Structure 1
């Protein structure tokens, strides 16, 4: 299945009835095949926004459309064919081999008990190959490093054949090498990607568009050079943010200091 446009219209969320909103009404559009980076300080509403997109929490208001279809108006199994998510913790999957974990991605395409047919097996093996996991295919997930496990989770998501991939802090707790591997992977996937990131320099490097959140409100939405300015970043993160150009690449790089 090919990448699809994602449109959020006036989506918000509060824990229950009269409780204050953790995400205030938010609207944006992500073109098919583009990467949206969701950034902001702790408590900004990043994870809340992602949960609405991958159908963990229903929006209090608004709608989310993938390829023109409201993902909250279709059965969960059908929505899982549209949107896949890679989260930070995977401990419940320990005890399964890499191939078994990746095979779980085919579940939305079947009902009840099922065994992989020829097409399923082909998709599973293709995902394993794309993520360079052939050498680990028969190993228990628990024996892999953090970066390797993250690749397995992405392979499982690809086996779902989604149109949109949601990544929640995919580089969290990873060392520099594994962070670079995950970033390279994001760049090569032919999907619409929604990714939350703490590292603003990383977000500016890999994302086509940035959604900057603060206390549940949208502070900016647009290309990295417009959404991540010194003034916006300083105000949103309550720091003194400075941009400088790095030689020889001439790329912009943020440095941060506590305000005087």
Structure 2
């Protein structure tokens, strides 16, 4: 798997002419292999932007480019070979095993040839090994814990051999240990990753760049260390935010209080 550059040029989305715009014109570029975090309060437009990135919805205006190509100028199967998404809503298990669900990620690559089948099986096994799922490969998906299910969903996405991976709140509903496992995994994938997060401290720790959204409007884009000022975070999230540096690592950490 190799990483690709992802660029958004003035992309916006409006459901219809009678509905106010949900996402206002947004532009940014994610270099190949970098991790972009999208943060903002509920209703900020994070999920809408992600749906544009993985080609579920077409921008009302603007473009989504992968290595300079408009994803809507490419066949859907070609885009599915380049961009994969892990959503908050996990698929119904339908009695499938971990291996079978992971193998669904090979759908965009299948050509009905024996050589293709061997390649698919090899990729699935590599992904299971990489995510330490080999011991669970024959287990029914329904019997797994929340953290294990999330790893399987990521495995299915990686089986697509994408260049860009979209993650929508990947740590939602996970306990602390499984949150740390997912965050650690994100940093080791070697792909271009776009991840929406509620936890600002997690964004600071895992992301190369951050896009802040509020009310469907971009508030800033850049490295978290310089972009996420106390003033911007306080204004965006309607709290009093204070960034501190933890000893002895010096890592940045936000604390929050309600406005007086």
TM-score by length of 2: 0.97
Q: CA deviation at 1:23?
A: 0.4
TM-score by length of 1: 0.97
Q: CA deviation at 1:227?
A: 1.7
Within 2, Cα distance between the matches of 1:113 and 1:74?
Answer: 24
Unaligned 5+ runs, structure 1: none
* Correspondence list, 1:29-178, <5 A: 29-110=29-110, 117-178=117-178
- How many equivalent pairs are there? 260
Within 1, Cα distance between the matches of 2:57 and 2:94?
Answer: 25
Unaligned 5+ runs, structure 2: none
Within 1, Cα distance between the matches of 2:116 and 2:95?
Answer: 20
Within 1, Cα distance between the matches of 2:253 and 2:226?
Answer: 14
Instruction: Report the counterpart of residue 255 of structure 2 in structure 1.
Output: 255
Q: CA deviation at 1:89?
A: 1.8
Q: CA deviation at 1:57?
A: 1.0
Instruction: Report the counterpart of residue 220 of structure 2 in structure 1.
Output: 220
Cα RMSD after superposing both structures = 1.5
Q: Please identify runs of 4+ aligned residues in structure 1 that moved more than 3 A.
A: 111-116
CA, structure 1 residues 96+58, in 2 after alignment: closer, same or farther (shift >3 Å)?
A: same
Worse overlay, 108-117 or 74-83: 108-117
Q: CA deviation at 1:16?
A: 1.2
Instruction: Report the counterpart of residue 185 of structure 2 in structure 1.
Output: 185
Deviations 1:38-71 (A, max 9, x none): 0000000000000000111111111111111111
